[in-house]
Amino acid sequence: MVKAFQLRLNLHQEGKSDGLLNKAAYDLDIDKSKIHGIKILRKSIDARKKNIMFNYKVEVYINEPMPVTSDYSFDYKSVSNAKPIHIIGFGPAGMWAALRCIELGFKPIVLERGKNVQDRRRDLKAINQDHFVNEDSNYCFGEGGAGTYSDGKLYTRSLKRGDVRRIFENLVFHGATDQILVDAHPHIGTNKLPKVVQNIRETILEFGGEVHFESRVTDFKMKDNKIVSIQLQNEKELDVDKVILATGHSARDIFYLLNDKNIALKAKSFAMGVRVEHPQQIIDGIQYYCSGEPRNELLPAAAYSLVQQVNHRGVYSFCMCPGGFIVPAATANGEVVVNGMSPSKRNNKYANSGIVVEINAERDLYKYEKFGALKALEYQKNLERLAFTAGGRTQTAPAQRLTDFVEGKLSSDLNDTSYQPGLNSSPLHSLFPKLIGNSLRKGFKAFGEKMKGFYTAEANIIGVESRTSSPVNIPRTETLEHPEISNLFPCGEGGGYAGGIISAAMDGERCAEAACT
């Protein structure tokens, strides 16, 4: 017999090796020797009260063995001589589009502007130490896309867009920990994700697909409202039949290329703001009621999620990284962009999160109307260039103590930081446009009320967090094709159809299914 139910453990019970078994036997009122296995379906922590509880959703196998195999299998067969589908971009959308093509009997040919995960590391080091940005290989561009070296958070709300479990099982198939199958907020970690990404590439190559690095697309040749060939940076030209465009939210050259060819685009609302960085101990103290004391070793580094309406505009936390660090995410020299990530153990001494403000492309950007569909992109670029100037014209980022920002005064000094290129004290309170600056100040005050201790001079704010999502939407029809270009399938974050690793992967699968029809 299989019994599915919920159970809760306190810290004492969670700390015992047989705590789950004992609690299941107690709640079911049976002898624990009759339990042959417990399958954890979901695990989360309830820290709303001082008596912190671990919530489990489980299946208990009573007097019968627990199955050891997954309900999912991935049966890849050779497509070496199959019909090709060209995929531009090798982030999550591009990777899962390629895998799905193989399953459907088509040959994926992937064109990625950046380098593989190993070679990409040198360019990340150059940004952090030499303040030099390789515009084709950085934290956003390269094998695995922005997610590879940006944390690997897998939480998604896009439950209706596809089979979420299938994506998670596929990640485990390619080397991710099976813990992601049960955690309420699953996370792989920036130190573990590159190997998973490499394994996915090796699967694609093993079964006859192609992956070409340092192959930036520079032009599309058109005929009868179709793309007939792709021009690469090395002047090589490839004939194409179907094209999945999965270039990510920062491939501005692709947006400019489409716009120059009068291919329909739309300005898209997005969000911008700052990264706020606290000592992790402060966040632990707030969330786990242990202020001034060490966090219990059974508890992970504490996270938070905050949202506040300010004058009918959302201000919210984004991509919160407990036990993490802040990284330079610019894709060109002359701009400063910050992002956050965490290693798998989340054991760094800082916590950081984006705190961003909603920007309505229709209502807020009237001064940028001359840029048409690219007005949100140009607004984004201007703020990143301003951050570059305020930071000192390197990858040093402009920063301010949180309380000084809210009170409108320059910080005489700054707290220590995880951001390797360094910080420069700047008057961010006067540099930000009013719609962002005023909203952030009111938002931070409100967050200080919701989380006592969050509003503190021990926290820095660091600018700018501007790559939350694409500022451009590439339209598509119900068949997922562009309305004007019948063989172009806009995909993932770059098209405006995803917001993270899992939703991008699911959209990649959907676009592959559409292109292979």
Q: For residue range 468-511, what is the model confidence (pLDDT) as tens digits?
A: 999 999 999 999 999 999 999 999 999 999 988 999 999 999 99
Query: Residues 130, 420: contact at Cβ < 8 Å?
Result: no
User: Is the alpha carbon torsion for 102, 107, 111, 115 positive or negative?
Assistant: positive
- Same domain? For 256 and 342 the reply is no
459 closest CA partner among 326, 343, 293, 345 = 326
Confidence of residue 158 (pLDDT cuts 50, 70, 90): low
Q: What is the CATH number of the domain that holds 27?
A: 3.30.70.2700
pLDDT of residue 148: 85
Mean pLDDT within 145-168: 77
Query: Residues 397, 421: contact at Cβ < 8 Å?
Result: yes
pLDDT of residue 417: 98
The full DSSP string for 271-283 is EEEEEEEEEHHHH
pLDDT of residue 149: 79
Confidence of residue 355 (pLDDT cuts 50, 70, 90): very high
Greater model confidence, 154 or 99:
99
Mark out the alpha helices in 29-146 (DSSP H runs).
Answer: 92-103, 117-125
- Same domain? For 293 and 436 the reply is yes
Mean pLDDT within 210-215: 98
Residue 340 has phi, psi (to 5 degrees) of -125, 155
Q: In whole angstroms, what is the distance from residue 409 CA to residue 400 CA?
A: 9
Query: Residues 458, 415: contact at Cβ < 8 Å?
Result: yes
Assess whether the previous peptide bond of 197 is cis (omega < 30° from 0): no
Q: Which residue has the tokens 């916590």?
A: 351
pLDDT of residue 150: 66
Residue 335 domain-assigned? Answer: yes
pLDDT of residue 160: 59
Mean pLDDT within 26-39: 94
Q: In whole angstroms, what is the distance from residue 270 CA to residue 253 CA?
A: 19
| Dihedral Cα 247, 251, 252, 256, nearest 10 deg | -30
Q: For residue range 59-109, what is the model confidence (pLDDT) as tens digits?
A: 999 999 998 888 898 989 999 999 999 999 999 999 999 999 999 999 999
Mean pLDDT within 424-452: 96
Q: Which residue has the tokens 């021990």?
A: 458
pLDDT of residue 371: 98
- Same domain? For 254 and 127 the reply is yes
Residue 71 domain-assigned? Answer: no
Q: At what angle do helices 164-173 and 501-515 cross, to 10 degrees?
A: 100
Choice among 152-161, 260-269, 387-396, 430-439 with the minimum mean pLDDT: 152-161
Residue 172 domain-assigned? Answer: yes
Per-residue pLDDT for 328 more than 80?
A: yes
How many other C-beta atoms are found inside a 10 Å radius of the C-beta of residue 393? 13
Per-residue pLDDT for 36 more than 60?
A: yes
- Same domain? For 126 and 49 the reply is no
- Same domain? For 232 and 298 the reply is no
Per-residue pLDDT for 156 more than 60?
A: yes
- Same domain? For 392 and 453 the reply is yes
Residue environment code for 157-180, b if the CB has 16+ CB neighbours within 10 A, otherwise e: ebeebbebebbbbbbbbbebbeeb
Q: In whole angstroms, what is the distance from residue 57 CA to residue 93 CA?
A: 30
pLDDT of residue 157: 64
- Same domain? For 126 and 6 the reply is no
Distances (CA, A) of 473 to 56, 91, 159, 267: 40, 18, 21, 6
Query: Residues 355, 274: contact at Cβ < 8 Å?
Result: yes
Residue 503 domain-assigned? Answer: yes
pLDDT of residue 152: 64
Q: In whole angstroms, what is the distance from residue 55 CA to residue 346 CA?
A: 21
- Same domain? For 350 and 223 the reply is no
pLDDT of residue 384: 98
Mean pLDDT within 107-114: 98
pLDDT of residue 159: 57
Residue 74 domain-assigned? Answer: no
Structural domain of residue 231, as residue ranges? Answer: 84-266+473-515
| Dihedral Cα 164, 170, 175, 178, nearest 10 deg | 50
pLDDT of residue 436: 97
pLDDT of residue 274: 98
| Dihedral Cα 157, 160, 166, 172, nearest 10 deg | 0
Mean pLDDT within 266-271: 97
pLDDT of residue 271: 97
Residue 289 domain-assigned? Answer: yes
Residue 7 domain-assigned? Answer: yes
Could you give the angle at the alpha carbon of 264 between the alpha carbons of 260 and 270, nearest 5°?
A: 100
Domains: count for the chain: 3
Q: What is the CATH number of the domain that holds 260?
A: 3.50.50.60
- Same domain? For 299 and 446 the reply is yes
20 closest CA partner among 40, 36, 3, 42 = 40
Choice among 181-190, 217-226, 353-362 with the minimum mean pLDDT: 181-190
Instruction: List beta partners, residue 9.
Output: 54
- Same domain? For 237 and 258 the reply is yes
Longest dimension (CA), the chain: 74
102 closest CA partner among 69, 125, 78, 120 = 78
Q: Which residue has the tokens 């199955």?
A: 67
Percent helix, percent strand, percent coil in the chain, to nearest 5: 30, 25, 40
Mean pLDDT within 288-317: 95
- Same domain? For 153 and 236 the reply is yes
Residue 165 domain-assigned? Answer: yes
- Same domain? For 303 and 412 the reply is yes
167 closest CA partner among 517, 513, 514, 504 = 504
State which amino acid sits at residue 472: V
Per-residue pLDDT for 31 more than 70?
A: yes
Mean pLDDT within 370-374: 98
Per-residue pLDDT for 161 more than 70?
A: no
Greater model confidence, 426 or 159:
426
Q: For residue range 396-413, what is the model confidence (pLDDT) as tens digits?
A: 999 999 999 999 999 999
